[in-house]
Amino acid sequence: MIIGYARVSKDDQNLNRQIDQLTDYGAERIIQEKMTGTRKERPGITQLLQMIRANDVVVVESISRLGRNTLDILNLIQLLHDKEIKFVSLKENIDTETPTGRAMLQMMSVIAELERNLLADRVREGIEASRKRGVKMGRPRIAQEKLDVAIRMYQSGDYSVKEVLEAAQISSGTFYREVNRLQLKKINTKHKNKNEQ
């Protein structure tokens, strides 16, 4: 059996593009999940592992759908291999039945994690550089800069709240207050526009 796995990080994101690609490949069953890839324990992955049998094929649109941590991804691929399951990633053209596919999988996973770590480092360095420029920004302005970075990271859907807080160096209370403030602002703007129509 060919089993597809499709995942997005947030409820408001759409799975249709992934589902279409998996269907075109020939997936007979598709497991759909809306949850951040930073979580190792996910119901969709659990369901997938319970469903698979020897000689099945597991296919994803991109390797990043399996998770965000290199070690977790490689452990999952190894688990599939141990169960005699073929793994295919369409975007990266990876097929674990070939030596080239297995090598490419490992390299792509390492590069993906390196890229995310570098991005988080650049965010931290940018905040630190702002402090060292000698520009008197004042405490509230620095706090707002951190909040802006945190919100952009959060809205990208690529980071867990824990990763956002660590990169922006803000407290969870500060972060959630800003999220709630922006949501309230969005609602008020929507009502205002509706009343003006």
State how far Cα 84 lies from the chain centre.
27
**Cα 116 to Cα 79, 111, 155, 164, 176, distances in angstroms:** 24, 9, 15, 12, 23
- Of the candidates 9, 64, 89, 109, the residue annotated as catalytic is 9
Identify the CA nearest to 32 among candidates 23, 50, 51, 45.
45
CB 40 within 8 A of CB 67: yes
Q: Active-site residue 9, yes or no?
A: yes
Q: Tell me the catalytic residues.
A: 9
